[in-house]
Chain A
Amino acid sequence: MSTRLTFLSATRRRPTRIKGGIPLTVSQSVCCRATAGSGVTSQVCNTNLWTASSSPPAAGSGRATGMWMKTLRESPQRKGCLCSQGWSYAIDFPATYTKDKKWNSCVRRRRWLRYRRYKAMDTWAKIPSQQTTLPDPFSDISCGGWEISEEPRGRLSLWAVSLQGKVWFRDGIYHHNPEGSLWEEVFLPGEVIQISCGPGDLVWAVLWEGQLIVREGISRDCPKGSSWAVVESPSPDVGAIHVAVGINVVWAVTKDNKVWFRRGVNSHNPCGSGWIGMVGEMITINVGLNDQVWAINCEDRAVYFRQGVTSSELSGKTWKAITVPRDGDRSHSSASANSLQSAGCYFCGEVRAQSVVSDAESDTEKGSADGASCHATSTSPESFVDAPTDSSNPPTDPPKPRIPKVTSDSFISELVSDREPGKSSRDTGSAPPAVPEEESIPGEGEVKAPCAGSALSPSQSGGPLDPQWSNVDLEEAQQAQTVAVQDTADTCSLSSVATYTLAMEDPYGADEHPLWAWVSGGGCSVDSHSQLNWFNFSMNSSSLVSSVQSMSLSVSPAQTAAWRRQIFEQLSERTKREMDNFRHYEQAVEQSVWVKKGTMQWWRDWKPHKWIDVHFALEQFSGPDGNKDGILFIYYNYYEEKKYLHAFINEVTILVPVLNDSKHTFAIYTPERTKQRWPIRLAAATELEMHDWLALLSVSCCDSRGIHGPPSKQAIWSITCKGDIFISEPSPGLEAMPYPTPCDQMFWRQVGGHLRVVECNSVGIVWGIGYDHTAWVHTGGYGGGFFQGLASSTDNIYTQTDVKSVYIYENQRWNPVTGYTNRGLPTDRYMWSDASGLHECTKTNTKPPSPQWTWVSDWAIDYSVSGGTDREGWQFAADFPASYHGYKTMKDFVRRRRWARKCKLTTTGPWQEIPPIPLSDVTILPCTAQSSVDVIPVWAISNKGDVLCRLGVTALTPAGSSWLHVGTDQPFKSISIGAASQVWAIARDGSAFYRGSVSARSPAGDCWYHIPSPAKQKLKQVSVGRTSVYTVDENGNLWYRQGVTPSYPQGSSWEHISNNVRKVSVGPLDQVWIIADKVQGSHSLSCGTVCHRLGVQPVEPKGQSWDYGIGGGWDHITVRGNSVEPPRLRLPSLTDPSSRSPVPVRNTEVNGVGN
């Protein structure tokens, strides 16, 4: 972490605009300096951009340290800011800086710094600005944003404000292109005077009128943000003049110099929630790396540091003056070695011998235009640079009190690590153990250093112990200083490196102190645990504690109670005792968090329902058991109010792509949302974006549940009406009695591919049928489709295509004059419509079902409509809507015909085609867990209605080898084989058939037994489990076959179980699952819902009630792979299972459960 602190001061400012209380100065040119860890440097000058590169810093050092201190008498205004990773951007005024001697010296100083730190020379290079003509010069720049994303490396956000109040964003700044590529103007709600950009996603700016604006929508993918939100000035009649932001903080200064802290700011809520007035009057404020705060006081123009800023108390506790010397006061020497000597600062203790480094270079320019005299010090300061022997100069030398200077611990440690390369920076960077006890009052995140050095700190710690260089009243202070320095020196000599102490130089102009104009701590990381010795003058600890207490902003009588103080102190001691020496230990709970953000549209929860823009974020972290977990956030506006809803990733049960012809939408369900029948519906901007999110979220969900790899053999498969395939791993308790796992808690994950029917069994054979009747066999893989990388297997994913037809209806009414025309009655349906007639569907406006589909044919009349058509495809009826027939009668006043158009989808998935016969249904023998069947019977119905038997299907060759045709009297449409090889089928006329004598030796059986359908009903589908036979008719009734026994497998009669059923799947445990229509949830009704029959047991195979699972929009389910016996509870009411069932009960070997 770099440690940089920049002070720039101007004793005379050149106000170019006056606004409010503070003369606002505007720069005429911009210079941008960047010293990255890479050693790349850039500068902007006179709106020209310059860049340069230098060699990297000393290997292994990794940290850039340094400090700029400058008192520029001549220059009207200088601003600078530095930021992490060594980048720094500054604004400068001198129009001709190359000729400016003073500036030269400054540059020289910097060079020296760079030389010192980076062992390299920088040169400023012009950044070409030809691509944009900038109309006016810049007046402010701010750089940050490096925490938004690490990709590409070195990416930074640079915001600039021009004289006209426009804001520009520098695009394309990254490691190899530190100067960026172009300026983008950012639309504004007003004229901006100043801007501040934090390391994260905070960007605030001040408007000319005094309001503040906050950039919203800044994210990884959009560092520039999307819009501005206006925040009123903290004070109603005084506008803001300055703002500074950090990671999670915003500080502002109003024109009356009041300082304000913004409450409730975080990246989810960049605007925060309210202002808190702070003590102290400042002209400018700046926030450093970890939200530490620097400011320039408006009265004494001294630099202040906010003490006690911790992550839990971002507003800090009190202002502390940093005694910053004005280097110009001390050395007249020009650019010689002398000038390198410290401006009165020294390092005591061991450092001193090493202190070749002065971080501030003396300013050779002494003539002070504004009369703020900086007389030359007659004392020649010790030059540690050229005269290391100066170390012999005892720091305790009382007649030579020195000007205290400021630096940071890490600066010192850098020096030390230079000297002691073996010593790690960690050892030296933090407070050293050798700090005398009385100086180091423990306290988390608090600088406990005595505050005597802070001349104008808000504390009332005045009195003779106030050695204040920056104070006008120095007569008394001098004396105190002498004492203080002596003490300091004493302690210093005891202490090790980090007690680099501020010292004084004697003949300092008593009436003179630097008037700072600008401060930047943007690169200065102050560890809240470390001690800052910038203020150190020895004082005893007790007085310190009390002074800190009294300075606290939130002092209440109760907080001074002894018991509370005791707890605070003891907790600090505990931290020291138990943690300080062990910080290198590994943490038991890892805290890695990864956030992905994006924008989406959300189908809002309240009426009127519509799509609204939302921000979407996935926060992922590693759980202690290594499983990743996460939380989803959706941020939305509710009547101007910012709100969010969230869902824990480990509670998400499914992510479903939703059929929508114009948007790329998906739905997120949790058990609760499943109960409501009201998922979180989201729409992404592009298909790619949706697939990215789906893949990411899906992986995240699987990770949180520890589900990886291919589906198990027991997996439950289902298909949505969109053709998407989902699998769920059954929990052992899924079929438990009497308390099965609730259906809505089942977790479903998607596998690639597109199917209309899927069937499986418990040895892992899975077959599918596409919309175009192509037969597919599962390869055993997973993923495909939009799944990539780890979420997908690689060697068994194949291209899969599917074709389906889209139908629209042409409707016409007969009229006596013209016959049938496309002019209907005003009350009639659309002349071009869908089947229901409710929606207009013309040839031109009808789109493929989703953007994944593309048209592969033109519209054509469809003659294959049930009920028949005439030669032109027309069907006739008396009126809309009615039953249509394929010939005209006298009573028919309306007619319609169906048009079809084919569309095609291409995707990938773990499926391989089984040519050549197109199928309409398939069934696989549901094996028991211990089944020793080698060749698995597979039966199918061809597209034409032929019954087929697949030969050669084994677990190793799931596709089998060839078809055996099984003769029938009429075409069939549905077939199912039970665990005991009992084959049932449904003919196209709606009646059922039972196939006799099917066995391993006679896989095709011998003959069909006709079984009448339930009265007045036409059956459409059948499913046979271990013993149970269920059918569904065309009116949605579910029937159970009564009286089926091994000796009389055809059964005796149909018993009605339920209505509103679309499809049934009976598994090897005789478990019954259906797709049901019209399931009422608490918020909505769903059609196509997965339901589980509860209470099914050998003595009661019909079960008792339904449990409702995922849906709507489901089309198909198969539970025929799930042969996992539930853990059996020994309830007295249950009889011995082996006596209840004709089929032997399997062991529970699969899951090992059972007691």
Chain B
Amino acid sequence: MADDKDVLRDVWFGRIPTCFTLNQDEVTEREAEPYYLLLPRVSYLTLVTDKVKKHFLKVMRAEDVEEMWFEYEGTPLKWHYPIGVLFDLHASNNVLPWSITVHFKNFPDHDLLHCPSNSVIEAHFMSSIKEADALKHKSQVVNDMQKKDHKQLWMGLQNDKFDQFWAMNRKLMEYPTEDGGFRYIPFRIYQTMSDRPFIQKLFRPVSPEGSAHSLGDLLKEMYPDAITNDGEQKRYQVVIHGIEPLLETPLQWLSEHLSHPDNFLHICVIPLTHQPAG
């Protein structure tokens, strides 16, 4: 691999092997077999789990079925976070396949948004793209697009069409060369040990002096604890798409290549607890 566009492909085609099991409390007519699926990292849980739903509905009575939701080791999984983020945040250091529990009752209204249809996901996805473009280009690019272009982005994600998506997303990733990058980098920093959903602030890709900001620069400002100083034991993993980029990686490059389809760079800061051998 020697080309940056391969990174785009790798990011897009990232898959997480997942084992869905039905919550034991659900009433079933017969034993529910677990269901195995490769989930696209960049997609959304509720967008890609129709098969899961179908599978479990086969053993359930219609009256026992409410809105489907997912849980991993006691944590309800927010469908509006990309699947890869959910995995990195909650399950990245565990064995594969990722074991997700499926519920059809007791929807945790406090933790999760309802997702009655794909159009809700579409609305969420498009609003993220618009928000990101507001940060990157003052919304100029996304506003110049036609409705069918927006549709193309969404259809690309929904149907897992890399080329279709990127034919349009390319435009969202452009910037004037003289600027050296976007106006602000659309990013979100997630952490498990916080009530705050995520950190999101304005941050430019280029310093006032004109040098390119790196991932480390961003973390220094947003989440200094995440950085391992010399001589310290590493306390946090900084994970994007399941990998730990070096802190010197230019932020602009990350934004262009490791952003999710929603155009945000989703960064997970995962505490390293009890590392046996240091």
Contacts and interface: CB of A to CB of B under 8 A. Distances in A.
Interface stretch (A59-67, A573-581, A689-697, A802-810): A573-581
Contacts of A573: 243
Interface string A518-558: 00000000000000000000000000000001001011000
Given A571-B10, A577-B96, A587 B246 contact: no
Interface in B31-47: 36-40, 43, 47
B97 A582 contact: yes
B5 A624 contact: no
Given A446-B1, A586-B51, A312 B6 contact: yes
Interface in B232-278: 241-246, 248-250, 257-258
Judged by DSSP, the binding face of A is mixed
Interface stretch (A561-569, A912-920, A968-976, A1076-1084): A561-569
Interface string B74-103: 000000000000000000000011000000
A621 B17 contact: no
A625 interface: yes
Given A563-B246, A588-B49, 11 more contacts: A444-B1, A562-B246, A563-B250, A573-B243, A574-B10, A578-B14, A578-B17, A586-B37, A588-B48, A589-B40, A589-B159
B164 to A, nearest CB: 8
B144 interface: no
Interface residues on B, range: 35 or more
Given A648-B148, A651-B148, A585 B37 contact: yes
25 contacts: A312-B6, A443-B1, A444-B1, A444-B10, A566-B249, A567-B7, A572-B1, A572-B10, A577-B96, A578-B16, A579-B17, A582-B97, A585-B38, A585-B97, A587-B37, A588-B37, A588-B40, A588-B43, A589-B40, A589-B43, A589-B158, A624-B48, A624-B159, A626-B50, A651-B151
A621 B3 contact: no
A83 B39 CA distance: 34
Contact of B3 (A443, A554, A577, A585): A554
Nearest to B98: A578
Contact of B244 (A313, A570, A577, A579): A570
A96 interface: no
Contact of A559 (B2, B155, B160): B2
Contacts of B4: 559, 564
> Nearest 8 A-B pairs (CB), nearest first?
A582-B17, A570-B243, A588-B48, A589-B160, A563-B249, A563-B246, A552-B2, A571-B10
Interface in A689-715: none
Given A570-B243, A585-B36, A586-B38, A625 B159 contact: no
A798 B146 CA distance: 44
B2 A588 contact: no
A760 B47 CA distance: 39
A883 interface: no
Contacts of A70: none
A89 to B, nearest CB: 33
A98 interface: no
A623 B158 contact: yes
A312 B7 CA distance: 10
Interface string B47-77: 1111100000000000000000000000000
A670 B158 CA distance: 21
Given A444-B1, A586-B51, A588-B40, A578 B15 contact: yes
Nearest to B2: A552
A629 interface: yes
Nearest to A588: B48
Nearest to A625: B50
Interface residues on A, range: 35 or more
A552 B2 CA distance: 7
A818 interface: no
B48 A567 contact: no
B207 interface: no
A286 to B, nearest CB: 24
B86 to A, nearest CB: 14
Interface of A: 308, 310, 312-313, 317, 443-446, 549, 552, 554-555, 559, 562-564, 566-568, 570-575, 577-579, 581-582, 585-589, 591, 621, 623-626, 629, 647-648, 650-651, 670, 672
Judged by DSSP, the binding face of B is mixed
B192 interface: no
Contacts of B243: 567, 570-571, 573-574
A626 B50 CA distance: 9
A582 B17 CA distance: 6
B160 A562 contact: no
Contact of B1 (A571, A578, A670): A571
A309 to B, nearest CB: 13
B151 A588 contact: no
B17 A312 contact: no
A63 to B, nearest CB: 25
A446 B118 CA distance: 37
A549 B2 contact: yes
Interface string B149-179: 0011001001111000000000000000000
B17 A585 contact: yes
A591 B163 CA distance: 13
A554 B245 contact: no
A475 to B, nearest CB: 35
Contact of B9 (A312, A566, A579, A586): A312
B9 A317 contact: no
Contacts of A591: 159-160
A587 B152 CA distance: 21
A672 B148 CA distance: 10
A563 to B, nearest CB: 4
